[in-house]
Structure 1
Amino acid sequence: MKLYFSTRHISALRELPLTQRLALLSQASAKLSAPEKLLLNVLKLIILVPAFVLILYAPKDWLNLLWAALVLATYPLILKPVQYGLSEKYLPDNLTQGDKDHV
């Protein structure tokens, strides 16, 4: 599985505008298998649980809010590349121009 930090790096979507790339990725994400969805959900929990624990301890030390914000900032940096990599295999390999216009 490759990690893609941008939708432009996915070869099947390279020529498409952003809205079409996101629509196709949304459709591909809906086709993920149960283990793949489980992996994404576990990654979400690994990121979100520590953030909420830090927020819980914020009344004792306000610096925990900064740490929580830092942890939450990593959420899209970690999760999106993994999601794009898992969804890539569910994208059509070659889109014809007619498909590109109707997506």
Structure 2
Amino acid sequence: MKFYFSTKHIPQLTHLSLTDRLAAIQTAQRKLTGPEKLLLNVLKLMVVIPIFVFIIQVSTNWLAIVWALLTTLLFPLIIKPVHLGLCVKYISHIHTQGD
């Protein structure tokens, strides 16, 4: 699986406008299989749960708020490339159907 950090970098979508790229991603997301959705949701949980753990620890350790903010910044850096990587194979099907 190849990872993409932006929809601009997906070869099938380079010629489309931003709204068309987002629509194609949304359509591809609906076609994800159960295990792919499960993988994506488990990955999201693995990033979100530590954020809440750090927030709970703020009452005893003020440095935990910094770690919570850093973990929050990691969310799009980890989730978006995996999400786009999973959707790419379905984008090619959408693109060929549209032509």
TM-score (norm 2): 0.92
Which residue is equivalent to 1:82? Answer: 82
Amino acid at match of 1:42: V
Distance 1:72 1:11 in 2: 29
Distance 2:18 2:48 in 1: 28
The alpha-carbon distance between structure 1 residues 22 and 11, as it changes in their structure 2 partners (threshold 3 A), is: same
Which one has a larger percent helix, Structure 1 or Structure 2? 2
1:17-75 deviation digits (Å, cap 9, x = unpaired): 11110111011011100000000001001101111000001011111111001001100
Which residue is equivalent to 1:26? Answer: 26
Answer yes or no: is 1:70 the counterpart of 2:65: no
Distance 1:70 1:39 in 2: 23
Give structure 2 stretches of 5+ with no counterpart.
Answer: none
Distance 1:95 1:60 in 2: 53
Which residue is equivalent to 2:37? Answer: 37
Deviation at 1:95, TM superposition (A): 4.1
- RMSD of aligned C-alpha atoms? 1.7
Structure 1 runs of 4+ with >6 Å offset: none
SS in 1 for 2:59: coil
TM-score (norm 1): 0.88
Which residue is equivalent to 2:92? Answer: 92
